[in-house]
Amino acid sequence: MAHRIILNETSYFGPGSRSVLPDEIKRRGFAKALFVTDKELLKFGVAQKVLSVLDAAGVPYAVFDDIKQNPTIANVNAGITAFKASGADFIVTVGGGSSIDTAKAIGIVINNPEFADITSLEGVAPTRKRSVPIIALPTTAGTAAEVTINYVITDEKAVKKMVCVDPNDIPVLSIVDAELMYSMPKGLTAATGMDALTHAIECYITRAAWTMSDMFALQAISMISANLAEAVNNPTSSSARNGMAVAQYIAGMGFSNVGLGIVHSMAHPLGAFYDTPHGIANAVLLPYVLEYNAVGSAPRYRDIARAMGVPGVDGMTEAAAVAAAINSVKALSKAVGIPEKLRDIGVKEADLPRLAVAAFGDVCTGGNPRITSVPDILEIYKKAF
């Protein structure tokens, strides 16, 4: 069996690393940027930290900020129009997964106009050309969109999230500058951090997991366990913020190459139906899916518990190690203020059957370590409700 690893070309890390932008832009011969971000990041001055670097270097740009929390086909089409009107030849995107995912879709369609119908990008789209060059600067420590080959766009008409998988979308340059994350509120820090933990854990137990993805997953689990609560409760901690910034990137290197499972399958419809923040949806569902997936994956739960710092895990029975891993996830989730039940985040019980059907059809379902079904997923939703 052949295992494939795809990573982006170049990444910089560390507080203040956005300072490399002008040199990298000049070295690559880029002329003008479409600056893709959201209105909140502009309003609160986070995007300005990057814009000021471009301004000081005299790099021309046009700003596109029409982006939703769960970006839609309409957002992408508006961005495509903005790119064409701007005269840009590359994209700088600053934000969380919403901004970066939108930038990826814009860049793909600009260079692959035969995919102008955004719905045609769902799944593994057979695009032939690389995206417009993208430079990604994440402002949240969760999605790792700056290093993955994935992006997610909401189809408003079908009321579904489309998971798009395309090696041609990966940014040519990522700058993981923790200073851009310092102003994240506690709730967003918690949600995006638990999203990163979900990525790492699902990466570790997915069917396609192997030696290299295991390395990324376990390191990410360990770093998130060590840094997330501190980043939430002491947001000025530069070490915790930078630890989470690096940890979520490491998790991204893993799951981008081996896939995920039904935590994500079940979280995606929540975003489509209720506009639920993706990290919150993942965090609420993760413990319940871990209980379900323990059948057949139990030996890997011991490694998860160890990576999360559970003492004495090597001397535990298999059942005890499974329980320790799940309880550690629950404890971390509670420590950072994540709700425990779906009803607490606005999910309607009457919608659960429809959600189960949508989740089963999600592209992430195929990576789940346990063969599943619509009735099984419905039961998990009910337990989580």
Tokens of 110: 């600009």
SS3 of 124-137: the string is ECCCCCCCCCEEEE
Residue 56 burial (C-beta neighbours within 10 Å; 0-12, 13-18, 19+):
exposed
CA-based radius of gyration for the chain: 20
Give the integer Cα–Cα distance in Å for 342 and 160.
Answer: 18
Q: Out of 149, 180, 211, pick the residue that ends a domain.
A: 180
Nearest to 137 by CA among 20, 264, 219: 20
- Read off the pLDDT of residues 292-321 as tens digits, 9 standing for 90 and up: 999 989 999 999 999 999 999 999 999 999
- pLDDT-above-70 percentage for the chain: 100
**What is the pTM assigned to this prediction?**
0.96
pLDDT score of 94 more than 90: yes
List the Cα angle 62/70/189 in 5-degree steps. Answer: 95
Domain co-membership, 229 together with 285: yes
Residues 247 and 121 in one domain: no
CA 317 to chain centre: 33
Last residue of some domain: 124, 145, 180? 180
Mean pLDDT of the chain: 97
Specify the CATH number for the domain of residue 39.
3.40.50.1970
Q: Is the pLDDT of residue 326 over 90?
A: yes
Are 227 and 89 within one domain? no
245-281 per-position pLDDT tens digit: 999 999 999 999 999 999 999 999 999 999 999 999 9
pLDDT of residue 1: 79
Q: How confident is residue 364, by pLDDT bands cut at 50, 70 and 90?
A: very high
Considering the domain architecture, whether residues 80 and 205 belong to the same structural domain is answered as no
| Separation of alpha carbons 267 and 316, rounded Å | 32
- pLDDT (average), residues 228-232: 97
* Domain limit, last residue, from 135, 153, 180: 180
Asked if the structure places residue 4 within a domain, the reply is: no
Tell whether the model's pLDDT for residue 55 goes beyond 90.
Answer: yes
Same domain, 56 and 89: yes
How many C-beta atoms surround the C-beta of residue 31 within 10 A?
11
Query: Is 3 within a domain?
Result: no
Pairing mode, if any, of strands 90-95 and 134-138? Answer: parallel
Asked if 162 and 268 sit in the same domain, the reply is no
Residues 295 and 324 in one domain: yes
Name the 3-class secondary structure at 152.
Answer: strand
Residue 144 lies in a domain: yes
248 occurs within a structural domain: yes
Q: Is 96 exposed, middle or buried (0-12, 13-18, 19+ CB in 10 A)?
A: buried
Task: Sort strands 123-124 and 160-165 into parallel, antiparallel or unpaired.
Answer: parallel
DSSP 90-112: EEEEEESHHHHHHHHHHHHHHH-
Tell me if residue 176 falls in helix, strand or coil.
strand
Q: How many domains does the chain have?
A: 2
CATH number of the domain enclosing 263: 1.20.1090.10
The tokens describing 285, both together, are 């569902």
Residue 72: DSSP 8-state? B
Structure tokens at 330: 């629950």
- Distance between CA atoms of 307 and 292, rounded to whole angstroms? 20
Q: If you average pLDDT over residues 80-98, what whole number do you get?
A: 97
What does the pLDDT look like over 9-49, one tens digit per residue?
899 999 999 999 999 999 999 999 999 999 999 999 999 99
| Integer Cα distance of 140 and 37 in angstroms | 13
Q: How many Å apart are CA 141 and CA 223, to the nearest integer?
A: 12
Find the domain containing 117 and state its range: 10-180
Strands (E) across the chain are located at: 10-13, 33-36, 61-64, 90-95, 123-124, 134-138, 150-155, 160-165, 173-176
Say which residue, 2 or 88, is predicted with more confidence: 88
Q: Is residue 189 within 8 Å of residue 235, measured between CB atoms?
A: yes
CA angle 200, 202, 208 (to 5 degrees): 110
Q: What is the pLDDT of residues 373-385, one digit of tens each?
A: 999 999 999 999 9
- Tell whether 118 is covered by a domain: yes
3-state class of 173 per DSSP?
Answer: strand
Residues 306 and 358 in one domain: yes
- Angstrom CA distances, 343 to 188, 193, 194, 335, stand at 19, 21, 19, 19
As beta bridge partners, residue 12 has 175
Q: What is the pLDDT of residue 125?
A: 92
Pairing between β-strand 10-13 and β-strand 160-165 as defined by DSSP bridges: unpaired
Whether 172 and 190 map to the same domain: the answer is: no
